[in-house]
Amino acid sequence: MLKVISMTVFITPNLTASFRQALLHYSIIPLLFLSLVSFGQQVSVYNFTDLAPVQNVAIYNLGHTKSVLTDEKGVADISIFEATDTLMFQHTAYFTQIINMLELQEMNFSVGIAGRTIQLDQIIISANKWEQDREDIPNKITVVPAKEIAFENPQTSADLLGISNEVFIQKSQMGGGSPMIRGFSANSVLLVVDGVRMNNAIYRSGNLQNVIFIDPNSIESSEVIFGPGSVIYGSDALGGVMDFHTKKVELSSLGTTNLKGNAMARYSSANNEKTAHVDLNFGRKNWGFLTSVTFSDFDDLRQGSKGLPGFDRKDYVESVDGRDIMVGNADVNMQIPSAYSQVNVLQKFFVKLSDHVNLDYNFQFTTSSNIPRYDRLTQYSGDQLKYSRWYYGPQKWMMHALKVNLLNYGKLFNNASVLVAYQNVEEGRYDRKFGNEKLRSRTEKVDILNLNIDFDKKLSPKTSDGGTDYASGAVYASLSSNLLEQLTLQTGLRYSYVYLNSKFSDTTFYHFPYEAIKVNNGALNGSLGMVYRTAKQWQFNVNLSSGFRVPNLDDIAKVFDSEPGNVIVPNENLKPEYAYNIDA
């Protein structure tokens, strides 16, 4: 990735009338003399490491009688200082610079400052949905921060999770990536984006690629909770929770407009990837918006030539004049077909109504081309490829979310949030066997409504074609308390209820002994954790927790050949599954 930063500084000289007249009479005075007696009215300050502007740098003279601050663009007006002053550039996260006016002019009024390492408590949001010091949390949590995401530059959010080297990513095709945490995957791990759970009634037990719906270029940080997280997040959080936080709207703190943006273009030779991304932030004192758009186009993937035997792509299928023919692959390392493309859009609006109330609107949309299921397309039946076509249709996901935050609001609670979200998901599967004219298709469309109300109080392919109703509700409470200066207790309890009613209106091909499936399940689970901190920056954690997952529509009402020789059929007697976990 090539990042280009350009900056232009305009310097306005401040000359007296008598001096201007003198210059007219003595035009042969060296230009060096002119530069000594004139100085710029603005100075820009940037991070020496990444050239990014640095805001809130304090600039003052040695006598501390005059001072200014840099704005969002790292620029400050220094016209209040004298030409003979020596200035100090000071920021808590950077080493102090002392520069006189002559040196400043020689530097073209552009000052680079070097960052210094300061040990701060890491802030975690995913453990309890509120910001919390990392040292107070007994769970094992891995954080992938913004700087690491930018450095690793992942192609998809599945690749982003793999950065931690603690989440295994299974890929059946290039346009996929199913996270596995402690042996759990698919609908036994939970995906959350900006506080909204993505898991829904059609999440299957086989590997899922839904994580690639999320644009890695719009992510600010990602947190992974290992072990059951059902107390806070409910069903499906058996193996863990993957919590993604997208970029926030940045307001202006100085009464001016905070306008900034980023643009990125990337090319990768392994899959001939062409990705373009742009985002723009506009912030005023009390409101602002953020827009982010990414387009990615991936050609067929080239695999490594030093792989295990049996993975060469010797043949693939082409249709010529309506007939399937097997074509020899000129390059056995090219995975044909595996190409796909994807578009991601993020739009946020933020309004600060008062010091205690703000509104946050979040819109996300993604759509893809057809995504070939490469592993199925490499299966043989005798000497002939089994499938001519096997692909996921355009995968579409749309989310609207409105969040009301109440901060330091009253005696009953310190903070509260009300989150209302709507999601629309459309997924399809298509396959056609070699030489067969019939294209089998299965399309699923799901509408999801989410309502979360949280309070923080500090104490010192479905055969169900007749329609399906799916609803869930829960109530939970959690407590975090510092029993001693070195000892923190964290515990929680949750009760969840899930209702599902699925009707079968057409049983022509599948004769089931029932016409409908009704499920009513309740589950109680909890967690108990302790953190002990020593005086030498050591920390000892122990955490006991339970998790559960209630069967969804995909589990109960599906007919599907999950693998050669195995067929999954509907089952009305499925019960919730539980997991029990000890971390130390």
Is there a contact between 159 and 301 (Cβ–Cβ < 8 Å)?
no
Q: Measure the CA–CA gap between 195 and 209, rounded to whole angstroms.
A: 20
Residues 368 and 423 in one domain: yes
Q: Which residues are 224's β-sheet partners?
A: 142, 242
pLDDT tens per residue across span 248-281: 999 997 778 999 999 999 999 999 999 999 999 9
Sign of CA dihedral 102, 92, 123, 346: negative
* Same-domain pairing of 165 and 86: no
Query: Cα(346)–Cα(214) distance, rounded to whole angstroms?
Result: 10
Q: Look up tokens 């997924």; give the residue.
A: 427
Band of pLDDT at residue 313, cut at 50, 70 and 90? very high
Residue 127 has pLDDT above 90, yes or no: no
Does the predicted TM-score (pTM) go above 0.75? no
Asked if residue 327 has pLDDT above 70, the reply is yes
- 126 or 432, greater pLDDT: 432
Q: φ, ψ for residue 175 (rounded to 5)?
A: -85, 55
Tell me whether residue 488 is in a domain. Answer: no
Instruction: Find which of 145-149, 472-476, 532-536 is predicted with most confidence, using mean pLDDT.
Output: 145-149
Q: Who contacts 491 (Cβ-Cβ below 8 Å, separation ≥6)?
A: 478, 479, 526, 527, 528, 529
The structural domain count of the chain equals 3
233 and 276 together in one domain: no
CATH number at residue 100: 2.60.40.1120
pLDDT at 38 (0 to 100): 41
Same domain flag for 293 and 349: yes
What confidence score (pLDDT) does residue 505 get? Answer: 64
Cα 49 to Cα 58: distance, rounded to the nearest angstrom: 19
Tens-place pLDDT, residues 85-105 = 999 999 988 999 999 999 998
Q: Domain ends where: 441, 458, 475?
A: 458
Q: How far is CA 84 from CA 36, 75, 78, 107, in A?
A: 10, 21, 13, 16
Strands (E), 53-173: 58-61, 67-69, 75-77, 86-91, 94-100, 110-113, 123-124, 132-133, 140-144, 168-170
Percent of the chain with pLDDT over 90: 45
Contacts of 410 (CB under 8 A, 6+ apart): none
DSSP readout, 160-180? HHHTTSSSEEE-SSSS--EEE
Establish if 431 belongs to a structural domain. Answer: yes
Which residue, among 123, 130, 98, has the nearest Cα to 113 in the 3D structure?
98
**Does residue 445 have a pLDDT over 80?**
yes
* Residue 3 pLDDT exceeds 60: no
Taking only the tens place, the pLDDT of each residue in 358-398 is 999 999 999 999 999 999 999 999 999 999 999 999 999 99
Asked if 98 and 110 touch (Cβ cutoff 8 Å), the reply is no
Task: Tell me: pLDDT of 1 over 70.
Answer: no
For residues 408-412, average pLDDT: 75
- Both 131 and 217 in one domain: the answer is yes
Residue 508, pLDDT > 90, answer: no
Comparing 317 with 146, the larger pLDDT belongs to: 317
Domain annotation covers residue 317: no
pLDDT of residue 231: 65
Higher pLDDT residue, 43 or 573?
43
Q: If you average pLDDT over every residue of the chain, what do you get?
A: 81
Which residue range forms the structural domain that includes residue 177? 123-246
Least confident range from 276-285, 301-310, 324-333, 499-508: namely 499-508
What ranges in 141-278 are assigned the alpha helix state H? 146-152, 157-162, 230-233
Quote the pLDDT of residue 194: 93
Domain stop point among 458, 481, 502 = 458
DSSP SS3 for 305: coil
Residue in 72, 68, 88, 78 with CA at minimum distance from that of residue 43: 78
- The percent of residues in the chain predicted with pLDDT above 70, rounded, is 80
Beta strand ranges found along 486-535 (DSSP E): 487-503, 516-533
Contacts of 193 (CB under 8 A, 6+ apart): 214, 243, 244, 246, 364, 399
H or E, element range at 21? helix 17-25
Flag whether 285 is in a domain.
Answer: yes
